[in-house]
Amino acid sequence: MALTVVIVAEVTVSLPYPRELIRSLEFIADVCNRRRAGELDSAASLRAICAEWGFPGASSATRADAEATWAHLPAVERMWDGERDAVAGLVNRVFDETGARPHLVRHDGSDWHLHGLPAGSPIADRIAVDAAMAIADLVRADDLERCRRCADSRCDRMHLDLSRNRSRRFCSTTCQSRTNVAAFRSRHAADVRT
Ligand SMILES: [Zn+2]
Ligand SMILES: [Zn+2]
């Protein structure tokens, strides 16, 4: 985890995005990935992942909050995977359905940034709106290509490609080396056969 943070800090210098936008996208990718992996299934797991990422207002999240959060994730994944014009519509739908009301805030030592809903709104809606606002910025910049899925078909995890030339195909070095090893083995097997 510490290593990941260091890499992100280095790479973001060259990107035209504020750090909290990158954090929002990485947070929602982690939520979707861990939900798919079966690691998120309770109020306690929702509270824990929000605490881990510093997403505020989840400390009293209930079972109903957790269920409502999981229910938003298919829509989030469609925004992540979608084609630009479709994603614009999906983002607007999230704004409509949650009654999003963006306002600039500055708190707890942070600089001015957008909150999509007032404090005290349901955590599930705040998570969905935060994701929709971050993805809206990528729609505007025509940079949705950065929202990727791992090129290892056995993995399929979501990751944010922060590389300069948008070339990061794998979610992790583990998947990259596993794929490289598999490619090497199949080449080697072909050599043996010929
Ligand atoms: Zn804030
Ligand atoms: Zn992967």
Q: What is the pLDDT of residues 21-40, one digit of tens each?
A: 999 999 999 999 999 999 99
Whether residue 36 is contained in a domain is answered as yes
Contacts of 10 (CB under 8 A, 6+ apart): none
Nearest ligand for residue 150 CA: 2
What are the pLDDT tens digits along the chain (194 aa)? 444 444 444 444 456 788 889 999 999 999 999 999 999 999 999 999 999 999 989 999 999 999 999 999 999 999 999 999 999 999 999 999 999 999 999 988 888 888 999 988 999 999 999 999 999 999 999 999 999 999 998 999 999 999 988 899 999 999 998 888 877 788 777 776 65
> What is the model's pTM?
0.86
Q: Among all chains, which residue has been given the structure tokens 């910049």?
A: 141
Calculate how far, in angstroms, residue 174's C-alpha sits from the geometric centre of ligand 2: 7
Distance (Å, rounded) from C-alpha 146 to C-alpha 168?
9
Domain that holds residue 75: 2-168
Whether residue 100 is contained in a domain is answered as yes
Domain CATH for 111: 1.10.3300.10
Nearest ligand for residue 110 CA: 1
Helices H / strands E in the chain, number of each: 7, 4
Q: What is the pLDDT of residue 6?
A: 44
Whether residue 96 is contained in a domain is answered as yes
* ∠ CA 89-77-163, rounded to 5°: 100
What is the domain count for the chain?
A: 1
Whether residue 16 is contained in a domain is answered as yes
Whether residue 190 is contained in a domain is answered as no
Whether residue 41 is contained in a domain is answered as yes
Calculate how far, in angstroms, residue 1's C-alpha sits from the geometric centre of ligand 1: 22
Whether residue 119 is contained in a domain is answered as yes
Calculate how far, in angstroms, residue 50's C-alpha sits from the geometric centre of ligand 2: 22
DSSP-based helix, strand, coil % in the chain, nearest 5? 60, 5, 35
Q: Do 79 and 135 touch, CB atoms closer than 8 A?
A: yes
Calculate how far, in angstroms, residue 105's C-alpha sits from the geometric centre of ligand 1: 7
Calculate how far, in angstroms, residue 171's C-alpha sits from the geometric centre of ligand 2: 4
Q: What is the pLDDT of residue 14?
A: 56
> Could you tell me which of 82, 67, 59 has the C-alpha nearest to residue 131?
82
Q: What is the pLDDT of residue 23?
A: 94
Whether residue 48 is contained in a domain is answered as yes
Calculate how far, in angstroms, residue 7's C-alpha sits from the geometric centre of ligand 1: 23
